[in-house]
Structure 1
Amino acid sequence: MKKLVLIAAVLSTTLFAFKPAAEFIWGADTAHSKLGFEITHLMISDVEGSFKNFESKITASKDDFSDAVVELSADVNSVNTENEKRDAHLLNADFFDAAKYPKLTFKSTSFKKVANNKYKVAGNLTFHGVTKPVVLDATLRGISNNPATKATIAGFKVTGTIKRSDFNFGTKYATAMLSDEVTLNANTEFVKK
């Protein structure tokens, strides 16, 4: 009986002493962020674009973000390559098919620290009706306080490469016209909630 009481006391003390780390939410400040991409045209020049409307958040309990979960959603209809005719073409069934697939999403499955401020971010990217795992490189550019708002902020630069063929995107255009590889790049300022 004494053993049972002792075990119960130890378990009770251990359970009450253990407090899970608090999770913090960091929301993207889209006024100071850009979600972009780049593709090579006719094998000689790069065309850049971005999504004007997107949301992103990071959930983490560790100060170094090593347990972070990243979620992102972009409105495909907000694609902007600074050419209205090209943007309209990108929205039709040849490319994004925005009427059918209006959102692009990403959710991380791991956020691994590989150097002092460098991370490998693995996750699932969904667009054009296809979900594929991707691995992105992220650099934490710093954590600071915004002098105007007094909010804690963090800056990340994220890059990676995907193949449009993996997402059945623009399949009627040969790689001599448009590269299969598409570079993803994001510069994002997050605000701690």
Structure 2
Amino acid sequence: MKKLIALTAAALALTASLAAHAAPETYVIDNSHTFARFSYSHLGFSTQESRFDNTKGKITLDRAAKTGSVDVTIDAKSVSTGSDLFNSHIQGADFFDTAKYPTITYKSTKFNFNGDTLASVDGNLTVKGVTKPVTLQVTSFKCQPHPMAKKDACGANATATIKRSEFNAGKYAPNVSDDVQLTFAIEAIKE
């Protein structure tokens, strides 16, 4: 009987341990190491690349259950094209219209795993008040203890292509490419 009680207690302890290990973990985006970038063809002459300098949000991840969520807000006024004049131009009504729509958001609907590897994230991108489904293809993903923060951290790179005209920002298309490549570099520290 004592062996049965001891075995039952061990099984309960193991179950509790596994349940605690499988719990979702929340990570806060590190704004100093997270950038949303976009690139597009300019009149066929060159590929222009710009970025946003202020991003905030959270990532929740349950690696055992292979689920998670992303909720990101980008400050559209933090757009950095490399030119103060063009920063002002691209914030106008023809493009981001930051006076009316100061933020861009991405909220996930599903994490997609290939085995134990995060392969893509389905979600909704909102630009200028228009929300469209966008799947981010994850090109790298890693979680490990952060050597400086002394906490667990996760980082990822992801890409997607959108049509800017679908977000009411299609001025000068097709001369200036309607297709825009989005690239995200994200680092987040566990709460």
Pairwise TM-score range, normalised by the shorter structure: 0.7 to 0.9
Which position in structure 2 is the counterpart of 1:153? 153
Aligned residue for 2:67, secondary structure, equals coil
Task: State whether residues 158 and 184 of structure 2, in contact with CA within 8 Å, keep that contact through their aligned partners in structure 1.
Answer: yes
CA RMSD, 1 decimal:
2.0
- 5+ residue gaps, structure 2: 1-15
User: Given the superposition, is the C-alpha separation of residues 164 and 57 from structure 1 closer, same or farther in structure 2, using an over 3 Å criterion?
Assistant: same
- Counterpart Cα distance in 2 of 1:147 and 1:39: 36
Aligned residue for 1:147, secondary structure, equals coil
Residues 48-107 of structure 1 show CA distances to partners (whole Å, capped at 9, x for unaligned) of 1111111121112225x8201011101111111111111100111111111111110010
Which position in structure 1 is the counterpart of 2:32? 31
Q: How does the TM-score come out when normalised to structure 1? A: 0.83
Q: How does the TM-score come out when normalised to structure 2? A: 0.84
What is the CA distance between 1:118 and its match in structure 2?
4.2
Task: State whether residues 54 and 75 of structure 2, in contact with CA within 8 Å, keep that contact through their aligned partners in structure 1.
Answer: yes
**2:42 equivalent to 1:44:** no
Which position in structure 2 is the counterpart of 1:109? 109
- Counterpart Cα distance in 1 of 2:98 and 2:59: 26
**2:188 equivalent to 1:187:** no
**Identity percentage over the alignment?**
39
- Counterpart Cα distance in 2 of 1:141 and 1:108: 16
Q: Following superposition of structure 1 onto structure 2, how do residues 21-170 of structure 1 map, counting pairs within 5 Å?
A: 21-63=22-64, 66-114=66-114, 116-169=116-169
Task: State whether residues 117 and 140 of structure 1, in contact with CA within 8 Å, keep that contact through their aligned partners in structure 2.
Answer: no
Aligned residue for 2:148, secondary structure, equals coil
Match of 1:23, as an amino acid?
P
Higher mean C-alpha deviation, range 179-188 or range 117-126? 117-126
Give structure 1 regions of 4+ aligned residues with deviation exceeding 3 angstroms: none
What is the CA distance between 1:159 and its match in structure 2?
0.6
Task: State whether residues 95 and 171 of structure 2, in contact with CA within 8 Å, keep that contact through their aligned partners in structure 1.
Answer: no
